[in-house]
Amino acid sequence: MGARARETRDPFEAEGAAARQAMVRLIVAGGGLRDLGWRAAFEDVPRHLFVPYYYEGGLLGAVRLWCEDADPVRREQWLRGAYADGPLATRMKDGELVSSSSQPSLMALMLDELDVRDGQTVLEIGAGTGYNAALLAHRLGDRAVTTVDLDPEITESARRHLAAAGYRPTVVTGDGARGCPGRSPYDRIIATCTLPLIPEDWLAQCAPDARVLAPFATGLISLRVRDSAGGRRAEGHFLHTPAFFVPLRGTPERTGGPARRMTGNDLFSFLLTLAGGSLGADEAMNLWEGEGRPGRERFGLTVDRDRQWAWLDDPEGPYVWPLTGHQGR
């Protein structure tokens, strides 16, 4: 849809444009932004307008970097960090992280995987800074995008950031687990927060053959929603990419920290998290070793009426674990 007229003059426009181009080159070199529409969005949307301040140094002893800092060196540090390929902690409350701007390469991977088409509508769960909603609006148009967050302070700041950058998708303050029925149906639902379960309300708000992409158990699940004899059914595999996300507000925190790709060999811990209390550590280790240390892409989820379960290789196979009842809502 192209770049938008800015609401106010941007003093960092030239430096930001150069930094965006460098960020995009880095993401493309890593295999991201295969869709030219998403590449154009990342090239045009000014991320720095969505993170006028953020925190560095971890949650304990965090240092705030700010666009209006009197020190030019610190202002330069802020702008450079805004376009680094890393997550940014943007909002803390009572010492806990409640909102962040995700790692750009991870956002690019998720948007590529969303597989949108012109004319489709998208519901985003977790407004954050508004940056991801701006990318969606750039690709699909303002009217096609709805973003929901529980915290009115977050939605208000997201609206301001979006308006400053020239984007006006629908921003709703509400419980993301309930979706936004007044704007449904949706062709795509994307969550930017970790879920304990796939909310049933989402499936009811999906258009035929919709797709749901969401963080789950330190991974990313891609579900296809279809009609079945018993109602809506969603099923799909995990992506190979591991990730940490801030949890859906109002649910037990299982994987904290800003949204980022995980590093190291954490597949066994992923299996333990996915299985919840259904498998003990020894049983999970025996299964993992016996099946050749399977990667995330061999695991999946099924949501069918009042049941949800995880599985290895086959949703009807021998290795399945119920989700309802041990992770809560």
Which structure tokens are listed for 302?
Answer: 């099924």
Residue 326 binned pLDDT confidence (cut-offs 50, 70, 90):
very low
Does residue 233 or residue 60 have the better pLDDT?
233
Distance CA 253, CA 197 (A): 13
Residues 6 or more apart in contact with residue 200 via CB below 8 angstroms: 303
Q: What residues are paired with 233 via a beta bridge?
A: 226, 304
Bridge partner list, 53:
66
The pLDDT score that the predictor gives to residue 116 is: 97
Residue type, 73: V
Largest CA distance in the chain: 64
Q: Cα(213)–Cα(193) distance, rounded to whole angstroms?
A: 11
Q: 264: burial class by Cβ within 10 Å (0-12, 13-18, 19+)?
A: exposed
**Residue 94 binned pLDDT confidence (cut-offs 50, 70, 90):** confident
pLDDT band at 328 (very low <50, low <70, confident <90, very high): very low
Q: Which residue, among 213, 200, 214, 206, has the nearest Cα to 187 in the 3D structure?
A: 206
Q: Which amino acid is located at 272 in the chain?
A: L
Q: What is the pLDDT of residues 137-189, one digit of tens each?
A: 999 999 999 999 999 999 999 999 999 999 999 999 999 999 999 999 999 99
93-322 CATH choice from 3.50.50.60, 3.40.50.150, 3.40.640.10, 2.30.30.360: 3.40.50.150
Strands ordered across the beta sheet of 307-312: 170-173, 145-149, 122-125, 186-191, 206-216, 219-228, 231-237, 299-304, 307-312, 320-322
Instruction: Tell me the domain boundaries of the chain.
Output: 93-322
The 88-93 sheet, strands edge to edge: 63-66, 53-56, 88-93, 96-101
Q: What is the pLDDT of residues 261-315, one digit of tens each?
A: 544 347 788 888 888 778 888 888 899 899 999 999 999 999 997 899 999 999 9
Helix (H, G, I), strand (E, B) or coil at 279: coil
Q: What residues act catalytically?
A: 99
pLDDT of residue 60: 61
Count, in order, helices (H) and strands (E) of the chain: 9, 16
Query: Whole-number mean pLDDT of the chain?
Result: 89
* Measured distance CA(26)–CA(75) in Å, rounded: 23
pLDDT in tens, 23-56: 999 999 999 999 999 999 999 999 999 999 999 8
Q: Is the pLDDT of residue 123 over 90?
A: yes
pLDDT value of residue 228: 85
pTM of the entire predicted model: 0.91
pLDDT value of position 263:
43
Please answer whether residues 288 and 266 qualify as being in contact, where contact means their C-beta atoms are separated by less than 8 angstroms. Answer: no
pLDDT of residue 256: 44
CA torsion 183→236→132→84, rounded to 10°? Answer: 170
